Structure formats: C-alpha cells, structure tokens
Amino acid sequence: MRELIEEIFVTALRNPFLDTSVDAVQLPHPEGQDLVVTTDGFTVSPLEFNGGNIGSLAIHGTVNDLAVSGAVPKYLTLSVFLEEGLEIKLLQRVIGACAEAARACGVVVVAGDTKVLGRGECDGIYLSVTGIGFRRRDIALGISQVQSGDRLIVSGTVGSHGAAVLLAREEFGFASDLASDAQSVFAQAQALLAVSGVRFMRDPTRGGLATVANEIARASGMTVHLSETLVPISDSVRSVCELLGFDPLYLACEGRLVAVVAESSSEAALAALRRVAPLAAVIGKVSAGQSRVILATRFGGQRLLDELEDDPLPRIC
Amino acid sequence: MRELIEEIFVTALRNPFLDTSVDAVQLPHPEGQDLVVTTDGFTVSPLEFNGGNIGSLAIHGTVNDLAVSGAVPKYLTLSVFLEEGLEIKLLQRVIGACAEAARACGVVVVAGDTKVLGRGECDGIYLSVTGIGFRRRDIALGISQVQSGDRLIVSGTVGSHGAAVLLAREEFGFASDLASDAQSVFAQAQALLAVSGVRFMRDPTRGGLATVANEIARASGMTVHLSETLVPISDSVRSVCELLGFDPLYLACEGRLVAVVAESSSEAALAALRRVAPLAAVIGKVSAGQSRVILATRFGGQRLLDELEDDPLPRIC
C-alpha cells in the first residue's frame, strides 16, 4: 500500500527537486528578490466536481495566493492525509490533477508527505499545500494602500466554483454545464502588475466577492460600492443560485481575482487584464464613508452586503 | 467558533511575520545560502502523551528534518485540521505547545490555515507543517557520501517517543516515568557540523534506529553493523518493550539523530556531540558487503535487522 502510494506520487509529480530519500530539499532561489510564502488546507467535499478535483483545487488555490501577492509562484510542498480503503483510481486522479495543474502553473512539488488514517478518521483525502514564490522588491501591494476613489475590478464571472461544488453534492434533477472556474490567476495578476496604480489584489475564494469587498471596507474604514449589473455572472450560476437560494456574490471563485486600482489607472488596468481575462470588468469603487459594502441592485435600489456571520457552505475548498 | 480559533492561534503564535490579513507573507532571507524546505503531516494518537502533544511534536519533527540536513531552521507554516466539537482547552494546549516549541527552537510560524471538519471527519486534530531553513553552501551531507569504515553515532537513548505514545494509548496497569524524547536536534546537528568528516545525519522517527540503519545499508549497498550493547536504551523503555513485545530499535525517536562519520573523525565527533548530548555513543560501523543490517546481540550472537514490512505502529507521529 505504502509503496503503491509512493509510486503514484513520484510518478505523477516527478521533477528534478523531488527526492523521497532526503529529509529536506535544497532549492535554488533568485538573489535580490523577496521570499513569499503561503499555506492552505483543502477539504472539499465531494472530492471531484465538474471542472476539477481536490488536487487541482489545492494547487490553484495555493498558486493564486502567491499570485495575488505579486509573487512568481515557484515551489510547492504537498502533505496528504488519506483514508484507508480509498479507491486507488481516485487517488491517481487527484494526484494526476495536482501534477497537471502544477505544470500548467509553472510550479513544482518539491517535497511531500503522506499519512494514511484508519477508516472513519478522514473523509477520503485532505491536502495541505505550502507555496513558495519570489517577488520583485519594487512591488508594493497591500490592503492598506487602498484610497478613496479607487476602482474595483473583477477578472471574470463569479461564483462558478461554489456552484459547481454545490451541484456535485446532490442530484438536483436538472442538467447544467456549470464547471468550477478553478485555474491559475498568475497571468491575470502579472497583467495588472504591468500597469501602475494597482493597490491590492485578492482571489475571492471562501465567501466570494462580497467577502473580499467587506475585507476591503473593514481594512480601509471606507465604503465599498458595488453595482450588481456590472458584476459578471454566468447564466448557469444565476439559475443555480435562484433555484437553490444562494447569492452568487458570496459563492467561492477559484480562478478570479479582485483588484483595487487607482481611478486614473482603471481604464489601463482593465484593458491589460482583458487581454488575458476577456470578461474582466470594473464593478465598483471605494469612497469615504462608513466601513461597509453597498450594492446598487439591478432594480435601482441599494442593499448592504453584510459580512458572513458563519460559513453557510463548509468544505467548499 | 472561527474567531475563537483565530484568537487562540494568533495569541499563542504571535510574531512580526504572522499576519492573518494577507494571502502570503514576505520573509527576509540570507543571501549566499541555500534555501532548504521540508514538509510533514502529523496524526499522532492520542493527541497528548507524557513529554508533549501533537503540537510540540509537529514543531520538533519539522525543525529536526531541517537540522539533520545541515540547515538552520527559520520559518514554519502550520495547517490545521480540527474536528468540530474539539475541546477548546485541548486546542489551546496543543497550539500553546506549538508556540513554546517554536520559541525553544528559534523558529517562527509565519503562515497558517485552519479547516474545521464535521464530527467524525477527523480524529481530533491533524497538523501539516512545512519548514524553511537556510544552509551554508559548503555543507555537503548526503546518504550517498557514506563510505566503508564509517562509524555510526546516535545522540542518545532510543525509542522513548514510541514507547511514550504506546503507554498513552492504553492503561497498562503499571506506572512509568517514561516521557517522549521529542525535542530539537539542532544543537546536536550543529555540534557535529563543527567537526569535519560528517557524511550524513538523519533523525530516527517512524521505524526507529533500525529503519535508518536499513536506509543507510540500502543507499550505500554496504553492510551496517550495530552492536546491541552500545545502543543507549533507558531502563524504562527496555521494561516497556519487554512487557509489550516491542523492539526498541524500531521505536520512533523524536529528539535523537543518527550520524555517519568518517572513522578518523569519530572520536572528535563523539566528543563534540557529547557536549550537548551526554549519552551520545558510537554504535556501529559500515563495511563492504551485502546491503543489510547486522546486530551483534548482547548474548554474543548476530541477527539481521530487517526492514519493516508494514507499519506496526500507525499514528505514532
């Protein structure tokens, strides 16, 4: 069993750094750049959904946290918790998806560890991924950089990941072509970084766009205004949300970023971003006022987008 | 719940780098040194045992993988999987132990993530830790450096961690002062590195000393000779092993290292090591011959120390 697992991992993830015989791996790193690190655990249920599985999700999620920080993602470590009796084919699909996503993102899994747990001690597979990247020293992004007048940009339709996982959970009796948006946002982040005036970027995962907007409002002490008609939402996500009673603004994305950009740079930023993300849109702005998020609804009204009190969708990522 | 958890983590682990509001953290790193990385998952059962808990174990285990690689451990990331309903006091003890061990090891937890799982989806707490360290470029350790005639040194008594976890699992009806040896081996590793002729170091965790000896034999293609009378084993570990039918040579240590040292350096290495690890001992040697491990028993006989076929003690670390 242990040998089989090791073979699956090593075969799929093979690269010049991965060496299961060492306690720690030595990695080249560029001089004169900042070391940037992130870590995340993944427990999505079900393990597979339209557009990906826990493996591809874990790679994209980690790469994206580095990308929105302005770093170039480079190395990942992968720690795996497996439930005894897990179907080997499923494990192969998950680790295969890790490998494929890592290749697509231009990163390598340089170290790993697997723990096998008894039946009932783990729900299939959990993954922990740590990402290491490097960032040019002249890049200064941060939520504290946000200023009154800044524009909010989103890089594409929102909510597809959350909706795809929801649909995978149950048989709702209707067909949908809805797939998770899980992908790298590195090209999107780099496109924006080529334009001056980008203050802050974040990928709207758990809690979705509304949660990132609230984080910006809270950190800046200002009001974030969003316009419902400007937020790109696919028809299929809209239908699913209407049927199941979810608000797409709170659903997780795994291949989108939200950027806060100086007003004077917003046109240039949008144009640059659209070259790699055609559905990118300016969706709102920041203005002096109370710390809150106001949505101008498509019916001409306004409503507050509150912070999530607790997690309505556990195990979405 | 989520706020409470965050408060527990942030309060215990506070340091200048840890910032829960960022996607990825920026870290200073020394120029002209190698970046060295390791990752490990921890699922020990029970969560607490004499001499530590899963939190201190995870920190020591990760720091030690860097230390035996010749690196100076510097940064850790901590990914936590929690079972809903876990006693908050227990979580505080575990994270408190993480913090205390990190301080003692001179490392900081720079990034973290917590996922809360439903009841029955996780057995209490699992941890994944990634360790980042830096190594002088002139340090060249590796199992491939091992040569015929080299001596094996162990830095203290073996098997205490495994025996302590075993005792914590059940009520065996006898008292023992036996505590896990879990601690940093960084000072031990550095003491050895100050001596020339050190080829390779490893901490004998899962599978114990016998497993490290087998790894050396397999990698070198040579015979490792160990002498039972030279291996330091505490009386309490010996008693527990005799009562429960375990071989202390296969029990996990979490605060010891095994070093392979050139014959000509072995006295100097032992003397240096004993300054920080008084019970360190030369326990055997490597010689040309078949790839295997031979133990000279205390009764004057010889026996093969086989590789473990499967894990007789799951969830020991």
A254 touches chain B (CB under 8 A): no
> Would you state the pLDDT for residue A2?
67
Would the CB atoms of A310 and B34 count as touching at under 8 Å?
Answer: no
Does B21 share its domain with B151? no
> Would you state the pLDDT for residue A255?
97
Phi, psi of B156 (to 5 degrees): 170, -170
Q: Decide if pLDDT at B5 tops 70.
A: yes
CB atoms within 10 A of CB B260: 28
Q: Could you say which residues from 84 to 103 on chain B have a Cβ atom under 8 Å away from some Cβ of chain A?
A: none
A9 touches chain B (CB under 8 A): no
Type and span of the H or E element at A80? strand A72-83
A1 touches chain B (CB under 8 A): yes
Type and span of the H or E element at A64? helix A54-67
Output the CA angle B262-B263-B265, nearest 5 degrees: 65
- Does residue A315 form part of some domain? no
- Does residue A208 form part of some domain? yes
Q: Decide if pLDDT at A171 tops 70.
A: no
* B302: confidence class by pLDDT, cuts 50, 70, 90: very high
Q: What are the pLDDT digits (tens) for A119-150? A: 999 999 999 999 999 999 999 999 999 999 99
Percentage of residues in chain B having pLDDT higher than 90: 87
Q: Decide if pLDDT at A1 tops 90.
A: no
Name the domain boundary from B80, B102, B136.
B136
Lowest mean pLDDT among B40-44, B56-60, B88-92, B173-177: B173-177
Name the domain boundary from B92, B111, B136.
B136
Q: What are the pLDDT digits (tens) for B167-215? A: 998 766 666 789 999 999 999 999 999 999 999 999 999 999 999 999 9
Q: Which residues of B touch A43 (CB under 8 A)?
A: 81, 115, 117, 121
Does A189 share its domain with A71? no
> Would you state the pLDDT for residue B20?
83
Question: Residue type at B111?
Answer: A
> Would you state the pLDDT for residue B173?
67
Label the pairing between strands A223-227 and A292-296. parallel
- Does residue B108 form part of some domain? yes
- Does residue A43 form part of some domain? yes
Would the CB atoms of A314 and B116 count as touching at under 8 Å?
Answer: yes
Does B245 share its domain with B175? yes
Does B249 share its domain with B154? yes
- Does residue B309 form part of some domain? no
B194 and B273 Cβ atoms separated by less than 8 Å = no
Does A101 share its domain with A21? yes
Residue that wins the pLDDT comparison between A65 and B4: A65
- Does residue B23 form part of some domain? yes
B307 touches chain A (CB under 8 A): no
Does B204 share its domain with B272? yes
- Residue from the list A42, A111, A121 with its beta carbon closest to the beta carbon of B37: A111
Does A120 share its domain with A192? no
Does A198 share its domain with A125? no
> Would you state the pLDDT for residue A30?
87
> Would you state the pLDDT for residue A310?
75
Partners of A52 in the β-ladder: A49
Mean pLDDT over residues A62-89, rounded?
96
Lowest mean pLDDT among A307-316, B68-77, B161-170: A307-316
- Does residue B132 form part of some domain? yes
Can you give the CATH number for the domain in which B7 is found? 3.30.1330.10
Does A183 share its domain with A73? no
The nearest alpha carbon in chain A to B24 belongs to A38
Mean pLDDT over residues A192-215, rounded?
97
Average pLDDT for chain A? 94
Mean pLDDT over residues A152-179, rounded?
88
The CA distance from B279 to A171, in Å, is 63
Would the CB atoms of B39 and A115 count as touching at under 8 Å?
Answer: no
- Residue from the list B31, B36, B113 with its beta carbon closest to the beta carbon of A24: B36
Q: Which residues of B touch A145 (CB under 8 A)?
A: none
Place of tokens 């690689």: B69
- Does residue B315 form part of some domain? no
Mean pLDDT over residues A278-287, rounded?
98
A301 and A289 Cβ atoms separated by less than 8 Å = no
Give how far B239 is from chain A: nearest CA, Å.
Answer: 29
Q: Decide if pLDDT at B3 tops 90.
A: no
Q: Which residues of A touch B35 (CB under 8 A)?
A: 26-29, 35, 132
Does A196 share its domain with A262? yes
B47, B69, B83, B130, best to mutate vs chain A, most A CBs in 10 Å:
B130
Q: Could you say which residues from 24 to 43 on chain B have a Cβ atom under 8 Å away from some Cβ of chain A?
A: 24-29, 31-32, 34-43
Place of tokens 């004993």: B274
Percentage of residues in chain A having pLDDT higher than 90: 87
Name the domain boundary from B104, B136, B168.
B136
Q: Which residues of B touch A25 (CB under 8 A)?
A: 36-38
Mean pLDDT over residues A211-222, rounded?
97
DSSP conformational letter for A265: G
Domain that holds residue A258: 143-304
Can you give the CATH number for the domain in which A271 is found? 3.90.650.10
B65 touches chain A (CB under 8 A): yes
Q: What are the pLDDT digits (tens) for B258-281? A: 999 999 999 999 999 999 999 999
Does A25 share its domain with A147? no
Size of interface A-B (CB pairs under 8 A): 181
A68 touches chain B (CB under 8 A): yes
> Would you state the pLDDT for residue A128?
98
Does B70 share its domain with B185? no
* B6: confidence class by pLDDT, cuts 50, 70, 90: confident
- Residue from the list B37, B114, B118 with its beta carbon closest to the beta carbon of A75: B37
Pick the most confident of A1-10, A25-34, B192-201: B192-201
* A6: confidence class by pLDDT, cuts 50, 70, 90: confident
Q: Report the domain count for chain B.
A: 2
The CA distance from A256 to A279, in Å, is 11
Q: Decide if pLDDT at B21 tops 90.
A: no
A210 and A305 Cβ atoms separated by less than 8 Å = yes
Mean pLDDT over residues A242-257, rounded?
95
> Whole-model pTM?
0.95
